[in-house]
A and B are shown apart, each in its own frame.
Chain A
Amino acid sequence: MDRVGIDMNFSNEKINSNTLLITVSEDRLDSRSAPAFKEYFTKTVSKEMQKIVLDLACVRFMDSSGLGALISSLKFINNQGAIILIGIQPNVEGLMTLTRMDRLFPQYENLEQAVAMAVE
């Protein structure tokens, strides 16, 4: 049985005073891993963090539950900040476009570009 939240692969690194990088090392963000991601996000992200850069380079597949976790993360940081996605794979990009979520989650190719955006 999968022990959700215990052996899931998420990590974070503080980039600067208001920017946090969260890396998802799961290949799927779906109904199995989404609850763990949500929990990780709310535990890791403090209120003063305004820019969250989310590295999804490992995520090969995201379903509606995974998207739900991203949306509730965005609701968690409320209007004070942004979640910026980097390393998006084609499958995930398709879902973001289909659901117009690309308008809520800015996307950049890499961390440098995302940070540059974050500083602006």
Chain B
Amino acid sequence: MTLTPQNKVKIVLVDDELIVRHQLKIILKGINADLIFFASAQEALNYLLENNDVAMLVTDWLMPDMDGPELITKVRALAQHKYLYIMLLTNLREKESLVLGIEVGADDFLHKPIVPEEIFAKISAGIRLQALKNELKERNERLSEALTHIKEDLQAAAQLNATILPKDSLAVDSIKMSVLHEPCEYVGGDLYGYKKITNDSFAFFQIDVAGHGIPSALLSFSLGHELSKAQLFSDTIIECDLVGIKPQVLNVERAVTAINKNSFHISSDMYFTMTYGVLNVETGLLKYCQAGHPPLILFSDETGEAETHGEGGFPVGIMIDADYEEQELYMQKNDRLFVFSDGIPEAENQQGEFFGEVRLCRLIEEGKELTIKDLLNRIYQQVLDWSEDKKLGDDITIIGFQWTG
């Protein structure tokens, strides 16, 4: 590597003998470095304290006030940012001396009596090594800077993503709802939404794009945008042709079929699961379509039991002509309904055991006195505890609401 004058390195050389300093000066005359000589270790140390741009230190071993190993120990203790390459000049050749030199932090030895070719070659090699180290350090700094930028971008994306999600709690009419949404990375592939689409119909959906991280999040983001623009696809399921008759909700699977047709152009292995539901807030009738998404959990206020509902169905975006089915259940007054993504049942403990749906049902039963919001937080905490120090492997979303009739 050729060094340009701009990155000429600084070398501090310490020897109490004038003749040695003179010899070194002559030997290193042509070397591409600034040479700074000192007659005592203390002077050199003072200089190093004030200048952290020195690349290399060459020090004699035996000196009257402070010897080479002591100087090296003190220099290493300075803990400067830059690593100083240190060479120890010595006529001691016993194994013990060399070991001590290495132990206190010397990188190499220069032997006395001085052999000019050896000195020149070793110091040149040291300069090359330092140059490479500096280059590596700069690259690392650039990389960590780039990583910081990426993280900032991701955080910005996460904030933007949050803007398309509705509020995480809602209390209107006969619905008390809360949502817990925790991406496992900055941005995730889980998405949810809800809206009152007619006077008596409350629609909600939850989507989980397969995989997680940025590709899933991008698809999730665009889906969220589409769905909110299309009013949760209410146009496809509400019939309001007849003037004077209140709008009727038709089969809800039409909404999912429409989303499936719209989503089919996405690349071959991107797909998502979803649950789309519409609750009649007058009667408690819930019509839903479960497209590969985990089942719903209905908590009965009367029996105090939580049970899963739903036969499953094709995920969205796999087959353009997939048939979707509507399923139904009736909610009684004060029953609670939960929709969750697979991140909850698939959370694993250290033994590889899954959290599972049964455990989730028991938690819902035990938490019947809690508000929905507190219950969801408790569930999340239990899932985290279950995973112990293992990082959650998937996004987690759970929507819960109570219908007060």
Contact = CB atoms under 8 A, between A and B. Distances in A.
Interface of A: 30-31, 38, 60-61, 63-65, 67-69, 71-72, 75, 91, 97-101
A100 B271 contact: no
B86 to A, nearest CB: 34
5 contacts: A31-B211, A64-B273, A71-B268, A98-B295, A99-B314
A75 to B, nearest CB: 5
Contacts, number: 51
Interface in B293-346: 294-295, 312-315, 318, 342, 346
The prevalent SS among residues of A at the interface is helix
B269 A98 contact: no
Residue picked from B312, B313, B342, most chain A C-beta under 10 Å: B312
A3 to B, nearest CB: 19
Interface residues of B, number: 23
B205 to A, nearest CB: 17
B342 A64 contact: yes
Contact of B315 (A38, A61, A69, A99): A99
Contacts of A30: 393
B15 interface: no
Given A67-B210, A71-B318, A100 B313 contact: yes
Given A97-B312, A100-B313, A68 B211 contact: yes
Contacts of B314: 99-101
Nearest to A102: B312
A71 B269 contact: yes
10 closest residue pairs by CB, A with B: A64-B210, A99-B292, A72-B269, A98-B312, A68-B269, A68-B210, A100-B314, A65-B211, A72-B268, A75-B268
B6 to A, nearest CB: 37
A75 B354 CA distance: 30
A65 B270 CA distance: 9
Contacts of B346: 61, 63
